[in-house]
Each structure stands twice: as C-alpha cells, then as structure tokens.
Amino acid sequence: MSALEFNIANQDLIKIAIAVVCGGLLGLERQYKNKTAGFRTIILICLGSTIYTMVAQRAGAGVNINIVTGIGFIGAGVIFKDNIAVSGLTTAAVIWISAAIGMADGSGNYLLALVCTVLTLMVLLLFNLLERYIDKVHRDKLFVIVFTNSNYDNMTPVEEAIATLQLTSRRVQVSKKDGCLQFAILVTGHRQNISKLDEKLLQMDQVKSF
C-alpha cells in the first residue's frame, strides 16, 4: 500500500468514526426519550450518509440528492397522526439533520459535523428545559371527553368550568361514539389550573370518560 492509499484509508476511518460518534450522541438522546428511531437507527443513518457521500465524491456522481430523498421517506415513517394529534416531528427532524451531519463528515468537513452535532444536542436537551418551563406556565392540553348520553348541552358545564379556572379553550371536534356525545376541546393555561380541570371533570356525572 502506497503512502497516498494509506493516507486515504486513514481519512476514511476518521470519517466513519466521527459518523458513529455524532450519530451515537444524537441517537442516545432519542433512545433516552423512548422514541421510534433510537440509538442504532440514528447511527446507521449518519454512517450511511457518510459512506454515500464518500462514494459519490470518488465516483464524481451526484448521490447527495438521493440521500435527501431517501431520508425523507425514513422521516415520514416516524411521524404518526391520529384523528386529532400529530407526533414524531422532532424525531423526523433529528433523522434529517443526522443525515446532513453524515454528509458533512463524508465530504471531509469534520469540524462542521461535530459543531452541528453539539448544536443539535443543545437544542434537544437545553431547549427542552425551556419548553418544560413554558409548558408549566402556558400549557396546551387536548381533552377528548365522552359523555354518558348524546345531549349536546353536556358541553356547557365543561366550558363553564374551563372559564372559571381562567383557562381558554377551543372546540376541536364534536362527534358521536357508541351513541354518546364525544367532545374534543383544546385547553390552554397554567398547568395547575389544567390539573384542577381534571378533578372537576371527574366529579361531573355526565362525563363517562376523558
């Protein structure tokens, strides 16, 4: 093996090692929060993007756009939507940026890859504390309430209780479930007051479940 080949091989190993480290750091955060795409998944995404970029550079082919397209499919697979709520958006964003970090690493921009990994972790961890504080003083909670009958007036006491607790609300959906009225309402306000609303709903005879 010539000196040039040895140098290239060493650079490849460095790129692979950095990809595993960066992907592992982001994957640990997702794994800790029990998300769909966890430790191994994020490592493989970051490593795969690195390898594809390395191959593209040597072949002179435009593979990078295919990486972005492929990652889009993976990201879409972790987003879940029910009739009302959507979840998995943050995990999809982590998948997307881990691929970008892998591409930066594969192209030889080691510092960029490492800095972006640190910044992403800061957003996920430190900003999460800020989100928790905001959530404490200004929280949104979606209530899906099923009443014991189909009487439309059942919603009035619920909305009056919300107003009494100095909370704001918005009706999201009104429907029937097994002959009973089902009422989805988005409530906004202080977490303590929302907890008090839980207690009031438990005391209402017309509320079957929520």
The tens digit of pLDDT for each residue in 8-18 reads: 567 878 888 88
CATH 3.30.70.260 fits 138-209, yes or no: yes
Q: How does pLDDT run across 89-108, given as a tens digit for each residue?
A: 777 888 888 888 888 888 88
How far apart (Å, rounded) are the C-alpha atoms in residues 16 and 19? 5
pLDDT of residue 81: 65
For 29-86, the pLDDT digits (tens) are 777 777 766 777 788 788 878 877 877 776 666 656 667 777 777 777 776 766 555 6
In this prediction, residue 23 carries a pLDDT of 82
Q: Can you give the pLDDT at residue 64? A: 63
Closest CA to 97 of 10, 157, 2, 27: 27
Spatial contact of 107 and 50, defined as CB atoms under 8 Å apart: no
Q: 193 in the Ramachandran plot: left (φ > 0), alpha (ψ -120 to 50) or beta?
A: alpha
Residue 71 Cα distances to 30, 61, 92, 121, angstroms:
17, 18, 9, 20
**Residue 120: which of 52, 46, 12, 11 has the closest Cα?**
46
**How far is Cα 121 from Cα 163, in angstroms, rounded to an integer?**
39
Q: Residues 114-166: pLDDT tens digits?
A: 888 888 888 788 777 776 776 666 777 888 888 888 888 888 888 888 888 88
Nearest of 134, 117, 2 to residue 50 by alpha carbon: 117
pLDDT tops 60 at residue 170: yes
| Residue spans per domain, the chain | 3-135, 138-209
- Alpha-carbon distance of 29 to 40, in angstroms, equals 12
DSSP H or E stretch at residue 144: strand 139-147
> In one letter, which amino acid is 7?
N
Angle between helices 3-32 and 39-59 (to 10 degrees): 150
pLDDT above 60 for 5: no
